[in-house]
A = this chain, B = another copy of it.
Amino acid sequence: MSQDVFKALSDPTRREILRMLRKRPMPAGELSEVFAMTKGSLSHHFNILKNAGLVRCERRGQFQVYSLNTSVFEETLAMLVDLFGSERKRKRS
């Protein structure tokens, strides 16, 4: 539920969704206007992003408004750093 972040980021559509949400929270419909894809397919992507903790979703009347969950951003950064070990704790042989 939290380690699937890279999986969630591995799809171009989902990355573009994040880039759009970067500007401001948006309802599902507005997001789906810019993708050549059915609303059902987009909803599927929203779910994956939500399960990865990358976005949150809040109902406002008829609208489901999606927004970035920036706190997970830091965790994702930390995971990347862990993969590459950028803190240089390399012991010289």
Contacts and interface: CB of A to CB of B under 8 A. Distances in A.
Contact of A6 (B15, B77, B82): B15
A36 to B, nearest CB: 19
Interface stretch (A26-34, A38-46, A56-64, A68-76): A68-76
Interface of A: 3, 6-7, 9-10, 12, 15, 18-19, 22-23, 68, 70, 73, 76-77, 80, 82-86
A17 B18 CA distance: 28
Q: Chain copies in the assembly?
A: 2
Contacts of A3: 12
A91 to B, nearest CB: 9
Contacts of A68: 84
